[in-house]
Amino acid sequence: MSKFKKPLHIKVSSEDLGEDVLVAGDPDRVKYLSELLREARLVNTYRGYLIYTGFYRDKKISLASHGIGGASSAILFEELAMLGVKRIIRLGTTGAIREDIDIGDVIVAEGASYHIGGTIGMYTGSDLAFSATPDLELTYKIYEELRKRINRVHRGIVFSSDAFYAESREVIDRMRRLNILSLEMECATLSTIGRLRSIRTACVLVVSDNLIKEKTVLDALQVLVDRFREVAQVILDVLSRE
């Protein structure tokens, strides 16, 4: 358990948050998705961690930006745990490494592989390969609801990279041989902290790149805005029933 009992990087109280938090790396995506909440208010901007809280139906829910990579996101996840959050769902982007997965497709992570060491290694020890798996029940509920309402939904293992620009062709080919669906940067950290802090987690990813076909969306929020909105609504519908 962390030696810190109070957040140092988000200046909110537990009353400012819902027990359910939908997180994304991009602050602009969080700002846009806050429009789905009733009576949404901005409760934190400190250190760049934008947090909005409002109501979806009658459920108090928060949206928060976690920045890029495991180290940045771990700070937010830890501090949300300190404040009593019960469920954290990541809605992020990812680069597919299979030819049959297209830009705009949705991937539900059943687990996340990662390089031993880095942020997760600081928690588990550099010699231990911790199983970075989300909450099974919550993940399955979201997956089933997505399948009912959205075309082209995949599920499987993703890879959480610690270095965006180190994703060489060799790395991509190696992940592909292991039947990993895509590369992203935060799911393994969220799943690990969720297990360590007894928080239920899930990771839902919208494909913004296909690294095999070398197709990339430069502005994912602008181009995939409708997809983010419909996926977020599915997640919020599931959370509103929890």
pLDDT tens string 156-175: 999 999 988 887 888 899 99
Q: What is the mean pLDDT of residues 103-113?
A: 97
pLDDT at 114: 93
**For 1-10, 23-32, 125-134, which range has the lowest pLDDT when averaged over its residues?**
1-10
Does residue 206 contact residue 228 with C-beta atoms inside 8 Å?
yes
Maximum C-alpha span of the chain: 49
- Spell out the alpha helix ranges (H) of the chain: 27-33, 70-82, 118-124, 136-149, 169-177, 187-197, 220-223, 225-240
Residue 4 has pLDDT above 70, yes or no: no
pLDDT in tens, 183-238: 999 999 999 999 999 999 999 999 999 999 877 776 666 778 899 999 999 999 99
pLDDT in tens, 13-68: 999 999 999 999 999 999 999 999 999 999 999 999 999 999 999 999 999 999 99
- Is residue 3 pLDDT above 90, yes or no? no
Per-residue pLDDT of 74-103, as tens digits, reads 999 999 999 999 999 999 999 999 999 999
Tell me the DSSP string of 80-132.
HHHTT--EEEEEEEEEE-STT--TT-EEEEEEEEE-SSHHHHHHH-TT-----
What's the rounded mean pLDDT across residues 98-112? 96
- Picking from 224, 232, 192, 206, the residue whose alpha carbon sits closest to that of residue 89 is 232
Tell me what pLDDT residue 2 has: 57
Instruction: Confirm if 110 and 154 have CB atoms less than 8 A apart.
Output: no
The pTM (predicted TM-score) of the whole model is: 0.94
Q: Say what the pLDDT of residue 216 is.
A: 73
Token pair, residue 118, equals 């880095």
Q: Given this model, what pLDDT does residue 220 score?
A: 64
Whether the predicted pLDDT of 1 surpasses 80: no
